[in-house]
Amino acid sequence: MPSVSGAINFRDTGGLPAGASHSRPGVLFRSGNLFGLDGDGRSTLRELGLRRVIDLRDDAEVALEPSRLDDVPVATQRVPLFAGSVASFLRDGMSLPAMYRSIAEESAPRVVEVVRGVLADQPVLVHCTIGKDRTGVTIALLLAAAGVDEDAVVADYAVTETLLPAERNARVVAWLRSQHPDSRDLEILATRSPAPVMRGFLDDLRERYGAPGDYLRAHGLADDEIAELRRILVV
């Protein structure tokens, strides 16, 4: 797995089992924001041949921590995934399962935009602020729709919390608590990616739509686009 200096929670989604095959390395990357990206990190992104960055953050997040891509020759696609804002989820004390269902239902057309961005250019990086929730849901849908094994999709999501530095977590939780003292489950929302949450999200999606691919079809993605997604993402 390449290390990108200054990019939090960066990883390649390649090498995950997909039936008798596996997801293709070097095509779809995921991470948190790119505000801390330094010269070495930008050099690594150039070496990876990155062609597109899909930023799932809202306007306030981008203004606060703009990406430091500088001379990295990429197309940047903005696709804010929350119907409201990050602050609104914290203020309302929404649980992770409720948040993920909200993303899937209220931002479905934008999820399809992300899929089409992945189809347009590769290698591609999908990111939000810490690469956990919006990125987690989107990457899970992409991989599952492409035929990656569900256990592997869940495991890829769950590894995020092991990649978030403890000092970062403490600092973020303290600041969020000062802003949202009554928020329930704030630490879970800010730092955790429990496997049962993603498993439950995929189960719920299957119950309502049939499969991740059927969810994407229901919101406008064509069969040939799903076939192309599978061709791109799975060896």
pLDDT digits (tens, 9 = 90+) for 79-113: 999 755 556 666 666 788 988 999 999 999 999 99
**Residue 155 burial (CB < 10 Å; 0-12/13-18/19+)?**
middle
Q: Is 168 helix (H, G, I), strand (E, B) or coil?
A: helix
Q: Write down all domains in the chain, each with its CATH number in brackets.
A: 11-228 (3.90.190.10)
Ranges of residues in the chain with a pLDDT under 70 are 1, 83-93
- Cα–Cα distance, 225 to 223 (Å, whole number): 5
pLDDT of residue 3: 85
Sequence-distant (6+) residues with CB within 8 A of 189 are 89, 90, 94, 96, 99, 133, 183
pLDDT of residue 174: 83
Sequence-distant (6+) residues with CB within 8 A of 166 are none
Of the candidates 15, 64, 73, 1, the residue with the CA atom closest to the CA atom of residue 35: 64
Query: Could you say which DSSP state residue 65 is in?
Result: S
